[in-house]
Amino acid sequence: MDHGGHGMTMDLPPFTLARGLEFGGDPFFLVGCVLALGLYGWGVGRLWRRGDAWPVGRLVSFVLGVLTIAVAMCTKLNDYGMVMFSVHMVQHMIISMVSPILLLLGAPVTLTLRALPAVGRGRKGPRELLVALLHSRYMRIISHPAFTIPLFIASLYALYFTSLFDFLMGSKAGHITMMVHFLAVGLVFFWPIMGVDPGPHRPGYVMRMLELFAGMPFHAFFGIALMMASEPMVGVYEHPPASLGIDALSDQTWAGGIAWAFSEVPSVIVLVALVYQWYKSEQRQARRLDRTADRDGDQELAAYNAYLASLQSRSR
């Protein structure tokens, strides 16, 4: 028996982690993951060949980000996610909250800008077009908190609590579109907060932390709403296959618990990354001040001391 025209059998055996992690899933995401790793590897290789360094930590982060997408979408988790709300919620949380953070820590935009060759003056190549896009009005709009936070929230409530979710789950194209949307929303939300790659002007670290915590509670509220519901709230999961041996309401409760628990994971990862960036920024600023003082013989401090001495002489 097929599910929603996807060509997937509904008569899956009861879910276990081993069964869920078997290879399978959507070829669209498999091709996308291979392509992403290939392009990133090409960029790193180009830098290495010309003698430029690229942090290993960024390489590892990006690879892990792609692998999390592969685990969520290129295994049997994708099949179980079509008939189990709890497994789908694991996919959603990974794709929208874990994968984007790891990908962004890999600084793919910075790598692209360094790897692409610059063309001659007055001409525009891929690198120049990317720079123009990063500083465009469009990018300022989609990276502004007034856009990113409502989009992040609406991707939960407007999707799951309306008929839109059932419509998208009714076709393979709709399901792919939904999962790509989750990934894109996560990237748009976390990109201005992380601040690893270049982009429009970003606020200070404290404001970025506030942006992070402004969106996270809504994930927790969404999870609590699912856990407290007295009946199934999503039509496509109302009647799970008998072969799974699960109850729709219990599965929904698990889905709500997963959404609630995952709201803490990205907060911790991003907070640690922001504190580390803040620390490194302060260190760079201190080194710049030290170099300036070495060059001018600490004239600024001498001028300040002279100013204090003049005030003291006036008071006598």
pLDDT of residue 284: 66
pLDDT of residue 139: 87
Give φ, ψ of 154 to 5 degrees. Answer: -65, -30
Residue 206 lies inside a defined structural domain of this protein = yes
Residue 261 lies inside a defined structural domain of this protein = yes
Classify residue 95 by its DSSP letter.
I
Classify residue 74 by its DSSP letter.
S
User: What are the residues facing 2 on neighbouring strands?
Assistant: 9
pLDDT of residue 309: 64
Does the pTM exceed 0.75? yes
Range of the structural domain that residue 42 is part of: 17-117+127-315
Closest CA to 159 of 181, 134, 131, 183: 181
249, exposed or middle or buried, with CB in 10 Å at 0-12, 13-18, 19+?
Answer: middle
To which H or E segment does residue 128 belong? helix 126-134
pLDDT of residue 15: 93
| SS3 of residue 9 by DSSP | strand
pLDDT of residue 274: 74
Residue 109 lies inside a defined structural domain of this protein = yes
* Distance in Å from the first CA to the final CA of the chain: 98
| SS3 of residue 161 by DSSP | coil
pLDDT of residue 33: 96
pLDDT tens digits for the chain (316 residues)? 445 445 444 578 999 999 999 998 679 999 999 999 999 999 999 999 998 999 999 999 999 999 999 999 999 999 999 999 999 999 999 999 899 999 999 999 999 999 988 776 767 888 888 888 888 888 888 888 888 888 888 888 888 988 899 999 988 899 999 999 999 999 998 888 887 888 776 777 777 778 877 877 888 888 899 999 889 888 899 989 999 989 999 999 999 999 888 877 777 777 787 777 777 766 766 666 556 555 665 565 566 566 566 666 665 5
Q: How many domains does the chain have?
A: 1
Residue 11 lies inside a defined structural domain of this protein = no
Q: With contact defined as beta carbons under 8 Å apart, do 59 and 106 qualify?
A: yes
Other C-beta atoms lying within 10 Å of the C-beta of residue 275: 12
Q: Give the whole-angstrom CA distance, residue 106 versus residue 99.
A: 11
Residues 6+ positions from 64 with CB-CB distance below 8 Å:
102
Residue 69 lies inside a defined structural domain of this protein = yes
Which two three-digit tokens encode residue 2? 């097929």
Q: Give the whole-angstrom CA distance, residue 95 versus residue 266.
A: 12
pLDDT of residue 117: 85
pLDDT of residue 9: 46
Residue 122 lies inside a defined structural domain of this protein = no
Residues 6+ positions from 105 with CB-CB distance below 8 Å:
57, 58, 61, 62, 65, 194, 196, 273
Which two three-digit tokens encode residue 298? 């600490």
pLDDT of residue 1: 40
11, exposed or middle or buried, with CB in 10 Å at 0-12, 13-18, 19+?
Answer: exposed
Residue 7 lies inside a defined structural domain of this protein = no
Backbone φ/ψ region at 117: left (φ over 0), alpha (ψ -120 to 50), beta = beta
